[in-house]
A and B are shown apart, each in its own frame.
Chain A
Amino acid sequence: MAWFSKRQTMKAQPASDKPTGPVPAKKGEGLWTRCASCNAVVYTQEWEGNWNVCPGCGHHDALPAIRRLEMTLDPDSFEELDTELIPEDPLGFVDNKKYKDRLKSTYKATGMRDAFISGVGTITGQPVSIGTFAFEFMGGSMGSVVGEKVARVIDRAYERRIPCIVFSSTGGARMQEGIFSLMQMAKTSAALNRFRQVRKPYVSVMLHPTTGGVAASFAWLGDVILAEPKALIGFAGPRVIEQTIREKLPAGFQRSEFLLERGMIDAIVPRLQMRERLAQVISLLG
């Protein structure tokens, strides 16, 4: 039985005339890309044009941080900030390589100073303070620079009285910065608590993977928490849990769908709809 003759759609208003954001830049090395999930071979240009989502099976492949911002924000609206922050090696950490050298070589390989890009921009004309992890930089681990950038994203949202969005994709705290990494959890959570006063939304988007100290701090403190499909999300990594309980984990454990079912996140949003959804949330709460 229908209550309404015409069904009310729960779908978002189109965020703009270009529903999935600006047309992506055509880049990439190989001509073809093989989907890790369904093995389909896709023309790389098409793959990237579809924001690294497999056109065949919908598998969400990793997306470089800067492309994430491109697809989320209005064209040319992003202003990167906090680029002056450079990581240090407060512990003098040495494993197979000196941490200092690891930072240098990762900088050379990625062009990034650390695992986070932050700044301001607009979504359908609405200003936002925004940041995203770069998993491609040391597994998106959080040390002092990442924590400081997250806190600044939150602080700017507080000062300008605008919504705040953080995309997480990380294995958690960066062990090479020891206790300083751990304390970034407290720092960002305290910054968020101050931000709550201005009554603007903080949207946390969990990407694959979001675990450890990031999951256990600001990522799980979103007013609204969205996740991409099939992202691995949790406190402990699956390997650690399996070692502890000496059992194999069930299929789908700690995936977005699992967490949604257990009431731990608000919604799963496919990548191509993320911009629309974010626009919707900040217009409804902002």
Chain B
Amino acid sequence: MATRVPYTTEFEKPLATLESKIEELKQLSGGAGVDFSDEIVKLERKAKKLQVEIFRDLSRWQVVQLARHPQRPYTLDYIQALFTDWMELEGDRRFSADHAIVAGLARFEGEPVVIVGEQKGRGTKENMLRNFGMPRPEGYRKARRLYDMADRFRRPLITFIDTPGAYPGIGAEERGQAEAIAVNLEVMSSLGVPSISIVIGEGGSGGALALGVTNKIMMLEYSTYSVISPESCSSILYRDASKAQKSAENLKLTARDLAGFGIVDEVVKESPGGAHRDPHLTAENLGGAIRRQLADLRQLTPEQLVRQRYQKFRAMGVFTTEE
């Protein structure tokens, strides 16, 4: 996992400047008998304070940028950090292998589980392979195959959501993108095993939900989950994608928003400054959350799990009744 962060968002820049200054002083301290340690301690304290200040009051648009941060840990990073015995299983047995979704078997703290997750890439080459984390129908059909397997072999299902959305292309439409997603929603609702979804970055619309009909829904602190991207929303409303900032505020798409709406069961704390600052700490927090949620769900019978999930989603929605 990446530890140094060459990429910085606009709002992280004052912090990055301060940090590189600290780094500089540290290097200077090494030689020539000069001691900057007092100065360094002071600056480090200042940096910590600055980080707290910046992150205390993030706008929703800033959270969107963190959720899309190119150094953010991805599904395979969490799989590596939290699971053992990982074995990837490929292919939908119908058309092709889709690398925007990874799926397979592994152990979580010794217990065999099934994992399905959307996978983004780092750099151009890997992003091409992963199609920027935008699955095609084959990806969803592979996921469906693994959902069935989880059910049949009575293995808990853990999914990682991280996608701008399902891929909108000619081939994807021809091969039934909408159908593939729809079937997954129904299949997921029917599983007689514990299921947990975790939004680790971007939860982009139906393409995210196709991994999200689970007994428990968790979100990392700086992840987003939305019916539409802020850019698409503003290009529909204002014919102007640059008003995305405004749309992000309107859409109320952060983990904190969704917890407030009662949609999300648990918001998992990220390392200070975001998951990319300390992926190990973030993974540790996530591991603890998965452990807790799984322990709760293990108390339920297959029938109770199906009922809990049905009731959870059946109750979602806000409206009033007249008379």
Docked complex Cα distance between A189 and B213 (Å): 10
Q: Tell me which residues across on chain B come within 8 A of A147, comparing CB atoms.
A: 317
Whether, in the assembled complex, A5 has its beta carbon less than 8 Å from a beta carbon of chain B, the answer is no
- Of the 9-residue stretches A46-54, A175-183, A278-286, which lies at the interface with chain B? A175-183
Interface pair A235/B319, CB less than 8 Å apart: no
Interface pair A193/B189, CB less than 8 Å apart: yes
Whether, in the assembled complex, B168 has its beta carbon less than 8 Å from a beta carbon of chain A, the answer is yes
Q: Tell me which residues across on chain B come within 8 A of A91, comparing CB atoms.
A: 250-252
Docked complex Cα distance between A151 and B319 (Å): 14
Docked complex Cα distance between A184 and B185 (Å): 11
Beta-carbon nearest neighbor of A190 in chain B: B189
Q: Tell me which residues across on chain A come within 8 A of B233, comparing CB atoms.
A: 175
Whether, in the assembled complex, A9 has its beta carbon less than 8 Å from a beta carbon of chain B, the answer is no
Whether, in the assembled complex, A216 has its beta carbon less than 8 Å from a beta carbon of chain B, the answer is yes
Docked complex Cα distance between A88 and B323 (Å): 16
Interface pair A179/B168, CB less than 8 Å apart: no
> What mask results when residues 125 to 160 of chain A are scored 1 for a CB within 8 Å of chain B, else 0?
000000000000000000011011001000000000
Q: Tell me which residues across on chain A come within 8 A of B174, comparing CB atoms.
A: 262
Docked complex Cα distance between A245 and B174 (Å): 14
Beta-carbon nearest neighbor of A194 in chain B: B310
Beta-carbon nearest neighbor of B167 in chain A: A244
Interface pair A235/B189, CB less than 8 Å apart: no
Beta-carbon contacts under 8 Å, B181-215 to A: 181-183, 185-186, 189-190, 205-206, 209-210, 212-213
Whether, in the assembled complex, A86 has its beta carbon less than 8 Å from a beta carbon of chain B, the answer is yes
Give the interface size class of chain B.
35 or more
- Of the 9-residue stretches B71-79, B224-232, B266-274, B293-301, which lies at the interface with chain A? B224-232
Docked complex Cα distance between A114 and B162 (Å): 32
Whether, in the assembled complex, A109 has its beta carbon less than 8 Å from a beta carbon of chain B, the answer is no
Q: Tell me which residues across on chain A come within 8 A of B322, comparing CB atoms.
A: 83-86
> What mask results when residues 207 to 239 of chain A are scored 1 for a CB within 8 Å of chain B, else 0?
000011101111111000000000000111000
Beta-carbon nearest neighbor of A182 in chain B: B227
Docked complex Cα distance between A148 and B206 (Å): 18
Interface pair A182/B226, CB less than 8 Å apart: yes
Docked complex Cα distance between A194 and B205 (Å): 24
Which of A175, A177, A249 has the largest count of B CB atoms less than 10 A from its CB?
A175
Known A189-B185, A190-B310, A245-B169; further 19 A-B contacts with Cβ < 8 A: A174-B227, A175-B228, A178-B227, A180-B261, A180-B263, A181-B227, A187-B316, A189-B186, A189-B213, A215-B178, A216-B181, A220-B176, A220-B179, A234-B177, A235-B168, A235-B172, A241-B173, A245-B170, A254-B173
Q: 23 A-B contacts, Cβ less than 8 Å apart?
A: A83-B322, A175-B228, A175-B233, A175-B237, A178-B227, A178-B252, A179-B252, A179-B253, A182-B226, A186-B185, A189-B185, A193-B189, A215-B178, A216-B178, A216-B206, A220-B176, A220-B179, A234-B177, A241-B169, A241-B173, A244-B169, A249-B170, A264-B179
Q: Identify the B interface with A (CB < 8 A).
A: 166-170, 172-179, 181-183, 185-186, 189-190, 205-206, 209-210, 212-213, 225-228, 232-233, 236-238, 250-253, 257-258, 261, 263, 309-310, 313-314, 316-323
